[in-house]
Amino acid sequence: MAIFTFTSASGSPGVTTTALGLALVWPRPVLLVEADPTGGSALLAGYWRGQLDHVGLLDLVMAERHGVLADALPRLQLAIDGTEAAVLVGTKSHDQAVSLARLWDPLLGLLQSLPGQDAIVDAGRLGLTGSPQSLVTYSDVTLLVTHSSLRALAAARSWAATLAADVVPGHDAQIVLVGEGRKYRAGDVARTLGLKVAGSVEWDPRRAAVFSDGASYPVPRFGGESAAARSFEQSGYVRSLRALAASLRPTVAADPLVDVPEESLA
């Protein structure tokens, strides 16, 4: 298995939305870990529109204190219907982030040993109190998510240098662009930030809202709900997520990709 940690330097470039979108199209079983220390569980409030409650990281802290972390992790995962993805829900308040400090190191070891399951970590913004630093530093690949504007790249530049300096054997740091060409292309970004660009996610706020806010599929001019689902599945936005997922897996493993059924996004 492999661990991919997504983070950002500033602003809201779409870390959670990208991490969730990737989990839903990931080519094999995957666990999405909501480790953003800002709290509020953007997944429960956004994708599930506040209509679902689920325990997660805080209960995992208690399990670690009692020495039953490995036994508790499968029980605390929230399966996403129709997919091979599951979620470990984050905290509900930023005050709870301090309680997670003792969890990150043992959780890293546990994620590294998950049988047949990758992990995608939403680490939120870099430099915050309670950030899952061990997951940022020792995952197989850390992905710095950024827009391609001059302002976004200026904010990301020093953090990109920090991530590059922290690279250890078996670990890599790369860039994920959200909205390539708005203003700079991938090659320009790679030269500016000094890191490889792993891939780009198409700029499409309407379709991204399906993941970030639990919005309905955008309805095409002709057709109803079924046409909307097909249009979403075939959109450039979802194709860009699939391409990014396909490019990330071979960086750490040579196992064959498996097809994800179309209904996985429904």
Site of tokens 């409650």: 53
What pLDDT score was predicted for residue 11? 78
CA 129 to chain centre: 19
Q: Looking at residue 238, what is its pLDDT?
A: 97
- Residue identified by tokens 């080519």 is 27
Given CA atoms 56, 58, 64, 66 in this order, what sign does their dihedral have?
A: negative
Helix (H, G, I), strand (E, B) or coil at 85: strand
Please name each of the domains of the chain with its CATH number.
Answer: 3-252 (3.40.50.300)
Q: Which residues contact 150 (CB under 8 A, 6 or more apart)?
A: 183, 184
Q: What is the reported pLDDT for 174?
A: 97
Residue 176 dihedral angles phi and psi, to the nearest 5° = -115, 125
Helical segments of 143-255, H only:
150-165, 186-193, 205-212, 225-233, 236-248
CA dist., res. 103 & res. 111, Å (int): 12
Query: What one-letter code names the amino acid at 103?
Result: L
**C-beta separation of 186 from 154 below 8 A:** no
* DSSP code, position 117: -
Position 93 scores a pLDDT of 79
Token couple for 40: 């509020």
Q: Are 252 and 266 in contact (CB under 8 A)?
A: no
Residue 195 has what DSSP assignment? Answer: S
Q: How far is CA 39 from CA 34, 45, 125, 211, 259, in A?
A: 9, 11, 12, 18, 34
pLDDT at 265: 47
Residue 162: Cβ-neighbour burial (10 angstroms; 0-12, 13-18, 19+): middle
Q: What is the pLDDT along the chain (266 residues), one digit of tens a residue?
A: 899 999 999 878 999 999 999 999 999 999 999 999 888 889 999 999 988 888 889 899 999 999 999 999 999 999 999 999 999 999 877 888 788 888 999 999 999 998 889 999 999 999 988 899 999 999 999 999 999 999 999 999 999 999 999 888 889 999 999 999 999 999 999 999 999 999 999 999 999 999 999 999 998 877 777 899 999 999 999 999 999 999 998 776 544 433 433 444 44
Q: What is the pLDDT of residue 262?
A: 44
Helices assigned H by DSSP within 113-171: 133-138, 150-165
If one counts every other C-beta atom within 10 angstroms of the C-beta of residue 224, the result is 9
